[in-house]
Chain A
Amino acid sequence: MRYDKLSASLHATLDDLSTEIYVEDFQAADALGFDRGPMLASRAEFAPVTVERFMPDGTHRVDGLRVFLSCEADVSLEKLTALGVQIDRDVGQVRAATVPIAALDAVSESDLVRSITASVKLRPLMDFASTQVGLSDYVNREGRTGKGVVVGIVDTGIDTGHPAFAGRIDRIWDQTVLGQGVPEGSYGVEHHAPFASPPSDQQGHGTHVAGIAAGNDVDYCGVAPEATLVIVKTSFDNTQIASGVEYVFRVANDLGMPAVVNLSLGGHNDPHDGSDPLCLALDQSVGPGRIVCVSAGNEGDDAMHAARLIEADGDADFELQVHGTAPTVRVWFNSWYGLDDQMSVTVTGPNGGATPTQGVVPGNGAKSYQLSDGVVQVTTKAPGPDDLGHNVIVDIRPKLGLARVEPGMWTVTFHGDTVVNGEIHAWLMDDPDPNTEPTLFLQDTFGFRVGSPGAATQAITVGASVSRNTWESENTLGWRGLGSIGGVAAFSSPGPRRDGASKPDVLAPGSMIISARSTAWAVPEPNCIDPTHAAIQGTSMACPFATGLVALLLEGDPSLDPSSVRQKLVAAAQIPFVPTGTWTPEWGYGLVDARRL
């Protein structure tokens, strides 16, 4: 057997079939004093799809496995059929097949096959949660459903007609249309149940998120399926997000319920230290029975952050690669260095033109330069009274008459005029055209990718674990994502904050989660599961899992405050084979296991 060609889950299945169940893992767990239960549950959850046969004596046996075979795109696997292999999808570099157990050895030895990956069927969220993160054990033990708790979703809206939310949406504040608004903001329109003409959710994101946190669905049940939903369809302007959170808390207070608000959103225009107004406002809004959960962000595998350490009179370069495959219409460089340092900045375009060296400029701090490669505005304003550092912004736009920023390597050079700390952090953003290759740092720096409001001190900040990496959509047999099941999702933004504070707090399942599908959403093919469900991924999907858990905690104790909620979640979280309470930039304090709540 060529074990090196087998996926980890296939290894586990073979171990199962030979009853040598994870012996090494269990021995390691025993040595460290860990509970075997979560490992058993995890293994059951990730069990590959098998072909089983019922025997006359009432038992059943596994005859075959549904697998994906990696091979060259143009190769024929016809020879494998002689081994009893049934090729279910016979095109491309990855073929779907059913392999008899007895033939697995020979298939693995075949030169035609590069690797064999077990097919894992997507399951309802509640099933999934009940195994990987122990939700059903917790629910069975505590008998909680979120009843009497408000779950607030500040997002793209909700499909009020989706059966998963029937009778449980109390009201919606639609911030995106003109209207008289609500006490928390004199704009938008408030809708009360029953909804005669409710706003739609054309992006589908909010509906999906709400379904994970609190959907009541036979097939794909959410975490707190009897919670009361209060929805804010937001414009995503962060001042209005702050008002949306206030709205949810006020409505919950009117209803006499505790509340947890889900914010599956974020940005990178902030100092990444929790000192921006949205983070501070959230910190001030939460309290006993008022909790906010925030997604960490999806920039884990994007080269969008870089840090440099500079010495007095030294230089530090940040090299930005602007791609030329499609027009980039704007590049935005947001950087911060310490209050005690004084630095000056030069920007050099791909063809060598450079701005003058610019130190702190009085007044608004902004100066614009016409370079041969584009228009560059450099802002080096003196810190304001609330700033915990110097903020240097470089805004690169096309030259007059051109539609795109000159592609190539742009360099932002810092010079250390007075250096006490010397640390510089920078984050890159560009225009949102999905057809454009993102502008990235040539040499990025790990971590520091949790922006506002995930950086809020009092928020429960949630990263994503890989919960699925293959799935079947409505019209296509199989799709594949990246990452090892049970590990940190590559896209999950790692911390810490720029000031070193520990963010994210915990992880929850976040890859290809099946949940409610808005009817107004034009779902891309990979995400279609059936007419009322879609599978999408991101820390957006991990966050509502934690939100639902918090709703269950609040059902048991409505007076819990953010600190005590965090303590409970952290105590229930674990990084594999690392002592509880250990924090790392990617895992936070680990994947939440509801059994330990």
Chain B
Amino acid sequence: MKWSKLDARLATALGDDPDGADSYGRLNVFIRCRPGARKRAFDDLQKIVHSRVSKVGRDFVTASVGRDEVAELSEQPWVQSITLSSVLHPHGSDRSSDQFDAQTNMPNLQMRPPTSEIRPL
């Protein structure tokens, strides 16, 4: 594993369970490819990872990966960095929107909507 290519949250997530393999299920990640390498990256990536591989932006590929796949990806010369996904949240005031499930092992950490400002007259 080339830890230097992983962001701190992904490194934390993987390091949290040194025994390994996919005990948290698969992790959604952004893979940043070295400039100009995405086409090759996409082809190579599909040989390594078989789940939810998509191109986004100009330099990025997203994928759903296990620990071993992260390790293999981190060794690829065309991989510049790998970043764990985050679960975002809506910026409205409906508290029921707090119920989204994270697909990673990261906690579903969210900020509170502005309902506390509302009170009956």
Q: Which A residues lie at the B interface, using CB under 8 A?
A: 68, 89, 92, 94-96, 155-156, 184-187, 202-205, 208-209, 235-243, 245-246, 264-270, 276-278, 280-285, 295-299, 301-302, 304, 330, 332, 362-366, 368, 377, 379, 381-382, 384-387, 391-393, 395, 429-434, 438, 452-453, 470, 476-483, 489-491, 521-522, 524, 526-527, 536-541, 543
Contacts and interface: CB of A to CB of B under 8 A. Distances in A.
B86 A238 contact: yes
B94 A521 contact: yes
B109 to A, nearest CB: 4
B88 A265 contact: yes
Contact of B91 (A265, A368, A382): A265
B43 to A, nearest CB: 16
B23 interface: no
Contacts of B15: 363-366, 379
B28 A240 contact: yes
A515 B5 CA distance: 45
Nearest to B109: A429
A363 to B, nearest CB: 5
Interface residues of B, number: 64
Contacts of B14: 364
20 contacts: A95-B121, A156-B97, A236-B88, A236-B89, A267-B89, A285-B58, A304-B111, A363-B15, A364-B15, A381-B6, A430-B109, A432-B89, A452-B88, A479-B118, A481-B118, A522-B96, A526-B120, A527-B93, A536-B93, A543-B91
A203 B90 contact: yes
Contacts of A185: 52, 54, 62
A381 B84 CA distance: 14
A395 B13 CA distance: 11
B8 A381 contact: yes
A481 B121 CA distance: 9
Contacts of A95: 121
B19 interface: no
B78 to A, nearest CB: 13
B56 interface: yes
A432 B60 CA distance: 30
B76 interface: no
The 9 A-B residue pairs with the shortest CB-CB distance in the complex, in nearest-first order? A281-B57, A284-B57, A364-B15, A277-B30, A429-B109, A540-B92, A491-B114, A478-B121, A239-B62
A536 B89 contact: no
B41 to A, nearest CB: 14
Interface string B82-116: 01011111111111111111111011111111110
Contacts, number: 276
Contact of B54 (A96, A184, A268, A299): A184
Contact of A332 (B7, B60, B104, B109): B109
Given A385-B5, A429-B109, A243 B54 contact: yes
A526 B118 contact: yes
Nearest to B28: A239
B91 A479 contact: no
Nearest to B31: A277
Interface of B: 3-9, 11-12, 14-16, 28-30, 32, 52-60, 62, 80-81, 83, 85-104, 106-115, 117-121
A489 B118 CA distance: 13
A434 B113 CA distance: 9
Contacts of B58: 284-285
Nearest to A336: B8
Contacts of A270: 86
Contacts of A381: 3, 6, 8, 11-12
Given A243-B54, A365-B12, A281 B121 contact: no
Contacts of A382: 4
A246 B56 contact: yes
A364 B3 contact: yes
B62 A267 contact: no
Given A237-B85, A243-B54, A386-B32, A393 B95 contact: no
A283 B57 contact: yes
Given A235-B100, A238-B88, A540-B91, 8 more contacts: A285-B58, A301-B114, A330-B107, A332-B109, A385-B80, A391-B9, A480-B121, A526-B118
A267 B88 contact: yes
Nearest to A119: B121
A89 B121 CA distance: 9
B56 A156 contact: no
Given A94-B121, A482-B117, A295 B91 contact: yes
B92 A269 contact: no
B57 A539 contact: no
Given A240-B28, A481-B118, A540 B90 contact: yes
A332 B107 contact: yes
Nearest to A182: B54
Interface centre among B8, B52, B87, B117 (most CB of A within 10 A): B8
B87 to A, nearest CB: 5
B3 to A, nearest CB: 5
Contacts of A368: 16
B111 A285 contact: no
Given A364-B6, A377-B12, A432 B108 contact: yes
A386 B90 CA distance: 27
B121 A239 contact: no
Contacts of B60: 242, 277, 280-281, 284
A285 B56 contact: yes
A432 B98 contact: yes
Contacts of A238: 30, 85-88
B97 to A, nearest CB: 5
